Chain A
Amino acid sequence: MAGMELLSDQGYRLDGRKATELRKVQARMGVFAQADGSAYLEQGNTKALAVVYGPHEMRGSRSRALHDRAVINCQYSMATFSTAERKRRPHGDQKSTEMSLHLKQTFEAAVMTQLYPRSQIDIYVKILQSDGGNYSVCVNAATLAVIDAGIPMRDYVCACSVGFVDETPLADLCYAEESGGLSSLALALLPRSGQIALLQMDARLHQDHLEALIEAAMTACKGSSVPRLQDRVTADDNMGLLSDPNRRRALINLLTRLNSPICMICYMAGVAWFMGLAFEPFTLRTYMSENAMGSTMVEERFPAGERALATGREFAAHKKKTGGMPADWLVRTMQARGLEVFTQSFSRTLPFPDENKERYMVKGTNVYGILRAPRAPRTEALVLSARCSPGDDNNQAVGLLLGLAQYFRGQIYLAKDIIFLVNEHDLIGMQAWLEGYHHTNTTGMDWSPLQGRGGSIQAALSLELSHDLITSLDLVLEGLNGQLPNLDLANLFYAFCQKIGVLCTIQGKLQRNDWDSVSGYSHAVQTMMLMVMKQASGRPWGDHGLFLRYHIEAATIKGINSFRQYKTDATTVGRLLEGMYRKLNNLLERLHQSYFFYLMPSLSHFVSIGYYMPAFGLLAVILLLRALDLWVQLVTPPPRTEDGVIDIEQSNPGVLSVMTPLVISHLTGVALYLLPIRFQELAVEHFPVSETEAVVLTAIAVYTAGLALPHNTHRLLSGEGTEQGWKVLKLVAVLYLAVLLGCTALINFSLGFILALTLVPVAAFVTPHVPKVLSAFVLVILSPACTLLFSVFFFQELQEIPVSFQEGWVLYLSVISQGILDHCLYGSLVYPLIALLVYPCWLLFWNILFWK
């Protein structure tokens, strides 16, 4: 060792450390699951593993137990591979026994043993690699393990070895230094109290130096003390890409710098993705998922189409005679066909007259007959419904329903009851019947309770048929709040249409095979867009729409007669229904195998939720990116700091300046929700309008008034807005919008997507600094009300019934009134969503534009 210089003239040690510098410390806690506590510690190249068991009952001889405190049992060992020389190390050699004893003494001083009388705490420490300072590393590792075990201690113990060379104390000795013949000292310290738990020195040292050496050791101990170690442990555990501060900063810089381009790209990608959904290679073919329904392999033998039509004509005659629902005749006819027949009467006063359907005080009767399953328990049921509507409408459907009832009566394979329902006043009657059937009353309607019930309803079909011969059958799926029945119901319908050879459509569109041509693609887009518009409207598009609320899969089948050559008679439609009901009869559980969330670009293809959600996701990402940008702007202080006072004021915009616009916007929303119906009488008194017009015009008036209100009141209350203030407000508004749209899209994708399409650009670009007039114009154009107006025109365009602006405006007004009525009558949520949440959110952005 003569040649080796433990401390160079420049003050560096063998491994390049300064005299007081410690080696690199790395630690991890909880490395074993079985032990009560465990820790792994590296100090330079010395590595130790500590495990703690206990406190537990005394193992071995109970006589060693102490009546007033716990016994600490330490065992120190070294791995055979821990030193340069591979050596078997038997237990209980003198060195390790001594080390165990030292550890024991140390921890008896630190652990609050008096809390665990008559028990034992085991501490096992193993040196995996030895490079000097074994004792101190063992103490540190054991301390971590004891902490991990949750055993209370007076203080952390930390230990360090110190050597003395050339009048200089060297901290944390490595093996080379330890074996270099200097006098060394190991010290275990309770750092907060400064008490020494153990001091060990095996070499000679002049008394004068002892003080300095102990001092150095204590400093070193505090340097390697456990609180610091623990910080490292937690930092180690959480280390990931984002927690690396440098990378995170770089990522954030990139995102803020490229914010606008990324947002633009996301928006375009979102729209492109959505348009791509209708492209046939990107869609999936529909297929039957439900095992129990399997194939279309049944025999359809319904023979009595002509008779059904005759019954329909008879029904029409009786309907004309009674001037409404011919309940008595229906009861008699159904009874003659062997059904258990019941009637239900209901009445309902609408909040304001429905001008489309010309009804205000509604009174009616539902007639239904139950065909009991001949051999099965009456636990499940299927429903076939046809509405009784005024005029020549839907007579054939009722006739066919009665014909099918007669036919099914003769079949013995039914395992479920079939309920044949004729409902008056379409959805209102259906609502009354469903509420009666399920013993609920959500809309405060008056109805007489049902006298007879079948089992729980598994599936339902509504029939709309107004011609003796039809060209095609149209499938209507969209129900209340954009709910859709399980896709298997559509698959079933499509499969039977294919089998029997009936033309079938969805959204009134036939499917085409030329997906690769432009016209074929635009046809698919048209079909899908119609579905999106209908779903977004949130209203039930057929009598089936209310079933979905009760988790009953239902669809409406609508007969369409156009001037095409291809005609289908009632017998064929009857056979189709027979086949479908026979397959539904085979169901063992509710329909659940296939998708509940989908879009259909044609009847044979569908887009599942997994494929269409990214389109919305791409739009929603823009909001998050803008929020991130704003957050970064808010957090980083502005570069010019001449005046500290202004700075502080800016960084703390008052709660008032954010809360005021929030509260006022929402109050405006509440007004928009409540006032139109409350004030209709007042409005009718003062203006020459009908009740319906009064409601709609009040709604529009409140909406428009809302544009002026928030920022003016805000100015009145909290004065001129600060720069920081609008940023906070916008951050809140953007996140609010993101949550709002996200939730909406999950429930009703179409509505969420359409709102995102218009509101996301607003949210992205609005600041108080953009040109006022132009921006205000854009903002109004993209507001929810204008979106609705455009949607009305677009919907007409898609249906190939374009309207003039005048007609469109009238339609727009009636759509608003319908929306409000749907909410009051059936509990559609679109109107309250727009009025109470979306509109206030949009007002926040409006407010930001007029911040100054």
Chain B
Amino acid sequence: MLILMTLFSSCLFVSSSNIEDNVGNFFSSGHTNNWAVLVCTSRFWFNYRHVANTLSVYRSVKRLGIPDSHIVLMLADDMACNHRNPKPATVFSHKNMELNVYGDDVEVDYRGYEVTVENFLRVLTGRLPPSTPRSKRLLSDDRSNILIYLTGHGGNGFLKFQDSEEISNVELADAFQQMWQKRRYNELLFIIDTCQGASMYERFYSPNLMALASSQVGEDSLSHQPDLAIGVHLMDRYTFYLLEFLEDIHPASKTNMNDLFKVCPKSHCVSTPGHRTDLFLRDPGSVLVTDFFGSVRKVEITVETINLTSPIMQTEEKSAAYGDLQKETYSFSDQLPVSEIIHQKPKQKDWHPPDGFILGLWTLILLVFFKTYGMKHLKHIF
């Protein structure tokens, strides 16, 4: 328990139950540190937008307080210094050079050909060679909230890495399960902006996962912000609106996950963004966006000292606030009906007339045929 608590009661005459509530709110999230893994998997100039996507998320999490030491940024190509970039040393997210997400203090941890499926999975699971520097590691623990953001070209059930390999949704789900078993996260928010993005999270089965995707299976995620001067699309639609949404968040804002789910409705996105919360134990409405996007230490200033050393109060508070933590002490299989999750019902197929109907139709056609031509003509036909 690394939280440094300085709690003072704001009023002399506050009833004890009120204080309890306040303290309960204070401990609502069970995490003590925040991490982010931001990955752009595609290279080449015409994939400018994927780099811009990743950098815009990077910008937001950094602005909300996650330090570079807690961000693993993987960029498969260097757009800012591409020969074809008419505005060198910039990566814009908005048309007409409104917002440069490249900034002047981007720390890229994995770049170019280092962005591979293997490296990505090794970062997640922590199975890195001992020589790997700290900046390239995800040093999270069971009190960490992790944001994982992926963007690139994908299909149903896979995401391409650099035109040469791909990660499948099963691999990804297994990696998360391994992270859970190794106690590498407390809660995990997964966001992916790619075509058929929802297919990437449908195989997840580890607890405390929340996932968002830019499009459903069978849908393409589309690009946005065509810029004639730069000559490419600057952003993808989903991340563009995500960025717009995040720009309005400040460290103290009370925006919760339900607001995040509403980002980029179909009218803006053209594709249908999806989200999955069945693995997540808390109510998304009570989860702040800054729980994942920021590194927020809660400080409230009061005048009076509140005595928290009383054992009764502490246990009560703990049981109220860390409900999900206690569950964590159970074995993994008890927590969640994993088998049910794995054997989820496949998506309903499109409706088509029942076979009997088609059979009947054919029979009818044949009947009409024989009725018109009569049985005696059959020998002429055959």
Contact = CB atoms under 8 A, between A and B. Distances in A.
Contact of B231 (A291, A375, A586): A586
Interface in A297-321: 297-299
Most A CB contacts (10 A, CB to CB) among B44, B86, B233 go to B86
B241 interface: no
Most B CB contacts (10 A, CB to CB) among A291, A297, A413 go to A413
B86 to A, nearest CB: 4
Interface in B38-52: 44-46
B308 interface: no
A413 B44 CA distance: 14
Contact of B86 (A292, A295, A297, A413): A413
A84 B233 CA distance: 77
Contacts of B266: none
B228 A298 contact: yes
A412 B88 CA distance: 9
A299 B229 contact: yes
Nearest to B232: A297
Contacts of B85: 413
Interface string B226-265: 1111011100000000000000000000000000000000
A376 interface: yes
Q: Is the interface of A mostly helix, strand, loop or mixed?
A: loop
A411 interface: yes
B231 A292 contact: no
Contacts of B86: 411-413
Contact of A299 (B45, B46, B88, B231): B231
B349 interface: no
A189 to B, nearest CB: 55
B83 interface: yes
Contacts, number: 45
B231 A297 contact: yes
A665 interface: no
A454 B346 CA distance: 57
B84 interface: yes
B84 A588 contact: no
A294 B49 CA distance: 13
A586 B84 contact: yes
Contacts of B231: 297-299, 413, 582, 586
B44 A588 contact: yes
Nearest to A377: B83
B84 A415 contact: yes
A295 B232 CA distance: 9
Contacts of B228: 297-299
A297 B83 CA distance: 18
Nearest to B228: A299
A373 B83 contact: yes
Contacts of A376: 83
A297 B84 contact: no
B45 A586 contact: yes
A586 to B, nearest CB: 6
A292 B45 contact: yes
Assign chain A's interface to a size class.
20 to 34
Given A291-B46, A292-B45, A375 B83 contact: yes
A430 interface: no
A413 B84 CA distance: 4
Contacts of B88: 375, 412
A407 B228 CA distance: 17
B106 to A, nearest CB: 20
Interface string B82-98: 11111010000000000
B83 A415 contact: yes
A411 B231 CA distance: 13
Contacts of A22: none
A294 B82 CA distance: 18
A440 to B, nearest CB: 30
B84 A585 contact: yes
A292 B232 CA distance: 10
Contacts of B45: 292, 586, 588
A763 to B, nearest CB: 40
Contacts of B232: 294, 297
A414 interface: yes
Contacts of B227: 297
A211 B227 CA distance: 103
A294 B226 CA distance: 12
A262 B226 CA distance: 58
B128 to A, nearest CB: 31
Interface in B80-123: 82-86, 88
Contact of B233 (A297, A585, A588): A297
Contacts of A291: 44, 46
Interface in A398-432: 411-415
A198 to B, nearest CB: 59
Nearest to A411: B86
Contacts of A294: 46, 232
Nearest to B85: A413
Nearest to A295: B226
A665 B222 CA distance: 65
A375 B229 CA distance: 18
A412 B84 CA distance: 8
A703 B220 CA distance: 63
Interface in A272-296: 291-292, 294-295
Contacts of A413: 83-86, 231
A585 B85 CA distance: 11
A411 B87 CA distance: 11
A411 B84 CA distance: 10
Interface in B192-234: 226-229, 231-233
Contact of A414 (B44, B83, B229): B83
A296 to B, nearest CB: 10
Most A CB contacts (10 A, CB to CB) among B44, B46, B86, B231 go to B231
A501 B45 CA distance: 27
A374 B83 CA distance: 8
B141 to A, nearest CB: 42
A579 to B, nearest CB: 10
Contacts of B46: 291-292, 294, 586
Contacts of B229: 299
Contacts of A585: 84
B191 to A, nearest CB: 25
A593 to B, nearest CB: 13
Contacts of B84: 413-415, 585-586
Interface in A637-659: none
Nearest to A415: B83
B114 to A, nearest CB: 20
A416 to B, nearest CB: 9
A590 to B, nearest CB: 15
Contacts of B82: 415
Interface string A809-842: 0000000000000000000000000000000000
Contacts of A374: 83
A372 to B, nearest CB: 12
A367 to B, nearest CB: 27
B109 to A, nearest CB: 25
Interface string A580-600: 001001101000000000000
A299 B230 CA distance: 8
Contacts of A297: 226-228, 231-233
B44 A292 contact: yes
B381 to A, nearest CB: 23
Sorted nearest first, the 4 A-B pairs with minimum C-beta distance are A299-B228, A415-B83, A376-B83, A413-B86
23 contacts: A292-B44, A292-B46, A294-B46, A294-B232, A295-B226, A297-B226, A297-B228, A297-B231, A298-B228, A373-B83, A412-B88, A413-B84, A413-B231, A414-B83, A414-B84, A415-B83, A415-B84, A582-B231, A585-B84, A586-B45, A586-B46, A588-B44, A588-B45
Given A375-B83, A414-B84, 20 more contacts: A292-B46, A294-B232, A297-B226, A297-B227, A297-B228, A297-B231, A298-B231, A299-B228, A373-B83, A374-B83, A375-B88, A376-B83, A413-B83, A413-B86, A414-B83, A415-B82, A585-B84, A586-B46, A586-B84, A588-B45
